[in-house]
Structure 1
Amino acid sequence: MTDTRPAPDADAGQALDPQQLGAYFVLMEAVSLLQHQVEQQLRTEGDISYVQFQLLARLAHAPGHLTMTQLADGVVYSRSGLTYQAGLLEKAGLITRGPSPDDERATLVAITGNGRALLDSVLPGHIQVTRSLLFDPLTGDDLHHLGDIMTRVRDHMRTQPPRSAAPRKRRPSSTQA
């Protein structure tokens, strides 16, 4: 009979038990293997990184413009890293950035026609890599369970604000003598 009880909460200072450690290493290895193949496919077919692909995909499926913070939260990326990546995408003509009329501190981002075209060109290969590596070895029941499990894990992790939404640390002001 399968134990359906949630895993006991461990104190932060305690080591992971062998089952937890094994599950962690298997998950991290699978994610690394998938991400490596996806990165190779995106570089080969579109000369873009995985983060750039995520940004274009989020913008393509957004109901309108997104703020830089919304983008950073969605892809769980630092503000400075996102600014750099958005700059590369803007320079390539794949996105546009501009000030928000509602909030002078916010920058709005939108995908361009060229960005949509690039996304459309790399998407079939992305789907093929994802399907062959991640979904082909799973049954329908496996997929249902994986989706449920990862949704619970993601939702639990999202209870902590992403780093892009966390308050910025203020640098101590230096006083000159």
Structure 2
Amino acid sequence: MNETRWLDAREMAAWTAFLDASHRVFRSVEQQLKDDAGLSHPQYEILVKLGAAGAAGIRMTELAESLITSKSGLTYQIGQLEKRGLVTRGACPTDVRGVTARLTESGRAALTEAAPGHVARVREALIDVLDRDQLDTLAQALGRVSDRLRDG
């Protein structure tokens, strides 16, 4: 029988600080994107991934994995972006069962327009609050958490 290992004061402080900061940063970034670009944060991240993929686009399953989201959630978001003319979906040239998402010219323009405000808010909410050593520590620590959850 496993006995519960409750969080001690130091562990609880780390956990609650992580929750508080991550929720506040996310809300701040989400609000900025909504106000300035009419996009949700997931939609913005989709545009970023598709922009990086170039004309070839990305298979929907690969895109869902890279965004750490469900296929159904991605399908919904892609549908919303498609209605706005920012992305298109089509058959995958290498797999008849696959669907590839691609950024349209309007999507590229929307991404180009949204990016400066997004980066400014990310800097304001997180990056510029920390010194270089703190940024390195944060990246290293959260990278370790991500690796563990990815592998587990």
Structure-2-length-normalised TM-score: 0.91
Alignment map for 1:1-177 (pairs within 5 Å): 13-62=4-53, 64-160=56-152
| Residue aligned with 1:98, SS | strand
The structure with more radius of gyration: 1
Unpaired stretches in structure 1, ≥5 consecutive residues: 1-10, 161-177
Distance 2:142 2:133 in 1: 14
Q: Matched residues in 1 for 2:122 and 2:78: separation?
A: 25
- Detail structure 1 runs of 4+ shifted over 3 Å in the superposition: none
3-state SS of the aligned residue for 1:148? helix
Unaligned runs of 5+ in 2: none
Alignment RMSD: 1.6
What is the identity, as a one-letter code, of the residue corresponding to 2:61?
T
Bigger helix fraction? 2
1:19, distance to aligned residue in structure 2 (A): 2.0
What is the distance in 1 between the residues matched to 2:148 and 2:53?
24
Cα 1:114–1:141 change in 2 (3 A) is same
Deviations 1:64-111 (A, max 9, x none): 321111111111111111111101111111011111122222111111
Identity %: 37
C-alpha separation in 1, matches of 2:62 and 2:10: 36
1 or 2, which has the higher strand percentage? 2
**Count of residue pairs brought into register by the alignment:** 150
What is the TM-score of this pair, normalised by structure 1?
0.79
